[in-house]
Amino acid sequence: MPKKYNIMMETAPPRFHPVGKYATVEFREDCAGSCRECVKKKCVSGIFKENYLHAISMEEPEYLYTCQSCFRCVQECTRGIFSRVIDPEYRTLGDDYWRPDILNRTWYQAHTGKVPVSGAGYRGPFVGKGFDSMWTDMSEIVRPTRDGIHGREYINTCIELSRRPDRLKFRDDMSLGTDVPPILEIPVPVMFQHPKFGVSGGNVLLTMARAAHELGTMMFIRAEDYADAFAPYAENLIPCLTKDNYQDFADIISKTRMAELAYASGIENELDKLRSLHPGLFISIGIPLNKKAASCALELVQTDADTLHFYADDHGNELDTENPRSLKDTIREIHLRLVENNMRQKINLVFSGGIAMAEHMAKAIICGADGVTVDNSLLIALECRLCYLCKADKPCPVKLEDADPDWGSQRIINLMCAWRNQLLEVMGAMGIREARRLRGEVGRSMRFEDLEAENFGPIFGERKVSGDK
C-alpha cells in the first residue's frame, strides 16, 4: 500500500482583522467587575481571547470572527449585559453567489486548516440553486474501523489527468503486452486556476503556484504571466495557450508536464505539433461551458487529448444563454453523453467556475466530473473580501500584492487541507475508498428536482421552469 497522503496544516493568522458574522454589544457601565470567572474567559472557542485587542481598547462592538453561536456568553452573564448582533460590514461582503458566510468559512479554514462547525447548526434555506438543491446520501454508512478516516483507514483521493488504455493485452507467458502510456496523477481532485479578476501582481500568482507545488496538484496559468520566478514550480503549472500562439512559448512548454489549448475549429490538428515541442506532454483542451459543450466533448474524445477542461462563469452557470443551467446539470449532461457513447473512460473531465466550498467539489464529482479547479477561493484564502474595487483600479483594502508568499501559500494549503478532510468524511460515510469511484455515483445523492417530481408531481403536475411556455 502506498504511503498515506497527508497535508501539513499550520496555523496562519490573518494579517487584517477579519469580518465576522456576529458582534457583541455590552452595557459595560452595568458590569459588576467582580465576577470570579467572566463569561468571556469561559468561551469554549476562545473568541474573546482572539479579540483581546478590542477588549483592551474597550472598542464596541467586538467582532466575533470564530463565534460558534453557542450563546453561552449571552446566557451566563450574571448581569445580563451581553447581546449579540449581526456585524453590518458582514452584510457587504461578496455578492449573491459568493455569500458572506462562504467568505467567512473560507477565511476560517485558511487560518486554521480545520473544518468549520457551527454550534447553532445550519439555519439556511432547505433548498437553493445549483449545488444547494443536491444532498449527499449517507444512508448506507459502512465505515468499519473505530479510529476512522484519519487513523488506519485508507481512502484514496487521487485522480489522473492522463489518458488510460482502453484494455490490457497479455502475452502467452502472461506478461503485459500493452504499452502503458505515462500517467499524470495528482493526490487531490482539485486544481488551481488564475483568477479572472483581482490583484495578480506582486507575489499573488507566485503564492498560488507555490501552494500547488507543496500540495502536489496543478495550476492553470496564462502563458503570458509566466516568469523566471515560477521556474521551481514549473512541473506543477499548466500554461494556457491558443493554437495561434503556442509556438511562441516553446521554452515554457519544455519545462512543464501539461499544457492547455483553448478550443477552436481545427484544434485536433495541432495536438501532435504541440507534443513535438515536448515529447510526452499531457494536453488539456479548454472549452467554454455552453450548450455545445457536450457535443464538443463527444468530438474531442476521439483526439489524443488527455483532459477536457470546461469553463463556467464565476457563479457556476452555463455561458451564452439567457436561461443558464448550473454546473450540477451541465456536468451530468456531458458525463452521460460520453457514457451513452461508451467513451467516458477515454477522457478526463475537469470543471471550473463557481466552486466555492468543499461540498461543491464532492458534488461535482458525484455528477460526473473527475476533478475541479478553484480560482476565487484562492483569493479569499489570502483575505480578499470580493469588494471588486480592483475592477475599478482602486487599491486593494487588504493589500494582496504585499502578502508574503510563505504566509499566503500556507493559507491556501490550510484551505485545501480542510476541503480534503471534508471529502474524506463524505467518502468515508458512503463507504467509498477512492475518489475515482465517486465519479458519477448519483445513487449516493439526492436531488430536490427528482424528489419533488416523485412525491408531488402526481398531485400537482410538473413544475414550470424559467423559459417554459
Domains of the chain in sequence order? 22-92 (no CATH), 159-450 (3.20.20.70)
Q: What is the pLDDT of residue 420?
A: 96
**Which grid cell is 16?**
487584517
Give the predicted TM-score (pTM) of the model. Answer: 0.88
Q: Report, as ranges of residue numbers, the positions in the chain whose pLDDT lies below 70.
A: 1-2, 24-30, 32-34, 36, 45, 48-66, 68, 118-124, 139-152, 199-202, 464-469
For residue 409, the tally of other CB atoms under 10 A from its CB is: 25
The amino acid occupying position 191 is M
Q: What is the pLDDT of residue 110?
A: 95
Let me know the angle formed at the C-alpha of 190 by 194 and 242, rounded to the nearest 5 degrees. Answer: 40
Q: Are 197 and 393 in contact (CB under 8 A)?
A: no
Distance of CA 33 to the CA centre of its chain: 46
Residue 122: φ, ψ to 5°: -85, 125
How far apart CA 3 and CA 156 sit, in angstroms, is 11
The amino acid occupying position 391 is K
How far apart CA 369 and CA 387 sit, in angstroms, is 31
- 348-352 and 371-374 as β-strands: parallel, antiparallel, unpaired? parallel
CB within 8 A of 380, min separation 6: which ones? 98, 102, 103, 106, 107, 110, 386
Q: Count Cβ neighbours within 10 Å for each residue of 60-92 and write b for 16 or more, e otherwise.
A: ebbbbbbbbeeebbeeebeeebbebeebeebee
- DSSP annotation of 21 reads S
**Which grid cell is 182?**
505515462
Q: What is the pLDDT of residue 147?
A: 55
The amino acid occupying position 445 is S
Spatial CA neighbour of 293 closest among 304, 309, 305: 309
The amino acid occupying position 137 is D
Expressed in angstroms, the distance from the first to the final Cα of the chain is 57
Q: What is the pLDDT of residue 54?
A: 47
How far apart CA 40 and CA 424 sit, in angstroms, is 34
3-state helix, strand, coil in the chain (%, to 5): 35, 15, 50
How far apart CA 277 and CA 251 sit, in angstroms, is 9
Please spell the DSSP secondary structure of 72-108, one letter per residue: HHHHH-TT--EEEEE-GGGGGSS-SSS-HHHHHHHHH
pLDDT tens digits, 41-79: 777 767 766 554 444 444 444 445 667 677 778 888 877
Q: Are 184 and 236 in contact (CB under 8 A)?
A: no
How far apart CA 295 and CA 331 sit, in angstroms, is 13
Beta-bridge mates of residue 135? 446
Q: Are 239 and 249 in contact (CB under 8 A)?
A: yes
Alpha helix positions (H), 218-321 = 250-253, 271-277, 293-300
